[in-house]
Amino acid sequence: MRAPLLYQFYVALTVLLVPFAAWIATRKLRRAGYPALRAHEKLGHASVPRIGGGPLIWFHAASVGESLSVLALITAMGRALPRAQFLITSGTPTSAKLVAERMPPRCEHQFAPLDAPGPIKRFLGHWRPTAAIFVESELWPQMLRRTRDRGTAMALVNARLSERSRASWRKRPQTAAYVLNVFDLIMTQNDEMAQAMVDMNAPADRVARGINLKSLSEPLPVDPQTTARARAALKGRPVWVAASTHKGEEESVLDAHTQLLTSHPDLALILVPRHPERSAEVETLIKARNFSVALRSRDESPAKVEVYLADTLGELGNWYALSEIVFLGGSLLPVGGHNPFEVAQGDAAVLSGPHVTNFAETYSEMTSRGAAILVDDAEALAQEVEMLLDNEAYRNGTVLAAQSFVRGRADQLDTIAQRLIRALSLEDSQ
């Protein structure tokens, strides 16, 4: 298939812009504490050797959620392919840190190369992937086409694009067909997205409905020492958690907490902003309402405070372990919602706002089963939290429904792994 003019123009543009993009990307990683060796991975310079003579399967994800969602899949494929090595690439320092803490066997992490000729050629020349599996919406045109041109088998899993992205691709049908034709298999999160991919000129015979990989992830890690210290400090006080909140949502959470304290004066709120760098801003909001507050980043204790600001990364599992009531942010505002599976795996009831487009099919099924509760505003949030606090049977029923929903999906992981192995002809490489 001949490259469309728009693709050729894009390639030429990236050649001109790569010096500026490289400066920005490497500077960001250096500021995050990574040495120059690792920062230069963005330019395609590998920081570790390619190990082993067996097949190398490359997974590419964008950031934290996408990266963590494939770790269980890598583990499952590793069991089926004992000679295979795995490479996972992502773009953010946060994703790199969390992946490093949970790395499956025979796996390396690198920062993804910039979508420009030089970085991609160096990257592919070093790693020589046997197969490449892209996650969700990572459709970088040159990365995809140059990988395919090397004869690499390719798949897109957990495919999910926003309506805005879909509309943009539909306006460029030749380019969309040229890019999407690289995949041997496209597995979407639901039927709607499967049809959307076909409408974007993906090969219809290679598109199939899969499952949201985030439902198959391992439970979040829990540090027993951290949770034991927190429980001792809380001394049996009731606790609820508001996790992954975004700018503009903490006000509603704090309003709900104000209402709850009138009937539950010893209630503690663990507030976990999505972006810990907003800690000072959120602390100011808390103090403006005259709440007593302690910060995790300062290693302060939650004892006797009304709000505990958990402003660190990688500790959500600890906070979920402290309460059976969790509200997930990114949902009172049109952000799209966050991962309810992690809450259910933490044995907690799932509360969310109405804006859950990122997990629309998941929340639809969970709410119909009584496994999740949607609220519209601070008042409704306070009412639901109070019901969960006061009504043990209601709380237990919601938690059990969420647990049952997650368990029902666990047996599908090996099925997905085997489907990818067959589609990418990886059984022949062992």
- HSE-up (13 A, CA, CB side) for residue 417: 19
pLDDT in tens, 290-319: 999 999 999 999 999 999 999 998 899 999
At residue 193, the 3 state secondary structure works out as helix
Catalytic residue numbers read 66
The amino acid sitting at 145 is R
Selection from 216, 219, 225 nearest residue 342 by Cα: 219
How many other C-beta atoms lie within 10 A of the C-beta of residue 199?
14
State CA 249 to chain mean position distance: 20
> How many residues in total does the chain contain?
430
Token pair listed for 361:
């099919």
pLDDT tens across the length of the chain (430 residues) = 789 999 999 999 999 999 999 999 999 999 999 999 999 999 999 999 998 778 999 999 877 777 777 888 999 899 999 999 999 999 888 888 888 888 899 999 999 999 999 999 999 999 999 999 999 887 899 999 999 999 999 999 988 888 888 889 899 999 999 999 999 999 998 888 899 999 999 999 999 987 788 777 778 889 999 999 999 999 999 999 999 999 999 999 999 999 999 999 999 999 999 999 999 999 999 999 999 999 999 999 999 999 999 999 889 999 999 999 999 999 999 999 999 999 999 999 999 999 998 888 889 999 999 999 999 999 999 999 999 999 999 999 999 999 998 877 666 888 889 999 999 999 866 5
* Amino acid occupying residue 378: A
Count other C-beta atoms under 10 Å from residue 426's C-beta: 21
Distance CA 202, CA 197 (A): 5
Under DSSP, the state recorded for 269 is: E
**Angle separating helix axes 173-180 and 5-31, nearest 10 degrees:** 60
Q: What are phi and psi of 308, to 5 degrees?
A: -105, 115
